[in-house]
Amino acid sequence: MHRLMFIVSSALAAALMAASGATAQAPPQRPSLGAELETCERGPLAADRVTEFVGSMPARAGASRMRMRFNLERRRKGERDWRRIAATGFGAWERSLPDRAGFIFHKRVVGLQVPASYRAVVRFAWERADGTVVHRARRTSESCRQPDLRPDLVPGTTLTGVPSPQVGLALYTLTVRNAGRSAAGPFAVRIGNGRVEVGPLAAGEQRSVLVLAPLCIGGSFVNARIDEERRVEESHEDGNGLRLACPLPDARPALRQRSHRRPIHQTPLDTLDGL
């Protein structure tokens, strides 16, 4: 299942105060100009996928205030170009207090979509008290690559089965494989009208699942589906259903042959007595 969203928060990490007065204390260290990737956390769940960027800028002569603006960009797997995407807290200017030695700001994003890479493009501006901009700059952070670590349940393409001792039922066997990069939680397998629960399946693990369901007719097809309730959040949700050939022999030709067999002509006993 897919539940993906952006939850973005921003936090002012430091607004460095300028040195003032004749004191014996050393002035605070001025930050360098830059945009950095600070955090890139990966995981199979959306809440596990987090990235954080930080922008920093030093004070500049002739400017009383500093401001910076973050834009979030994404490049999906197979794409060449980076594309700006909307996210709460991005695309707006963040301003420092006046007369500071530097300005540092953090942006954090939770719930990244996968597979994709993310980066921040940060624009900086230094302005006078009247709002006049005296200098501009731009920096781009390193990218945070987010591979798809979710499980991926894949049904086998062959169904086997044998008649069950219970009248009108058969015992079917379907192979299920987890082709994803993380373990899948419990899920159900359905074959026709039969259904069975399956326990967790590790990444790369394959398991044969037995399902008791009504007899199919040879030559027909049976619908098989895994995780139809979508309890497992997978990297691919569109391959969980198959229409498979009935694995049981077709008994209809034999029945037709018996029904079309000519009846044996019998001479009545009283006719034989008169010969």
> 246: number of CA atoms within 13 Å, CB side?
16
Mark whether 39 and 134 lie in a shared domain: yes
Range of the domain at 181: 153-250
- From the centroid of its chain, how far is CA 31? 38
Spatial contact of 58 and 101, defined as CB atoms under 8 Å apart: yes
Mark whether 158 and 96 lie in a shared domain: no
Query: Which residue, chain included where needed, has tokens 């015992």?
Result: 171
Write the DSSP string, 80-123: -S-EE---TT-SSEEEPPSSEEEEEEEEEEES--SSEEEEEEEE
The verdict on pTM exceeding 0.75 is no
Digit-coded pLDDT (tens) for 170-228:
999 999 999 999 999 999 999 999 999 999 999 999 999 999 999 999 899 999 999 99
Average pLDDT, the chain: 85
Mark whether 136 and 223 lie in a shared domain: no
Banded model confidence at residue 262, pLDDT cuts 50, 70, 90: low
CATH number for position 105:
2.60.40.3590
Digit-coded pLDDT (tens) for 23-49:
333 446 789 999 999 999 999 889 999
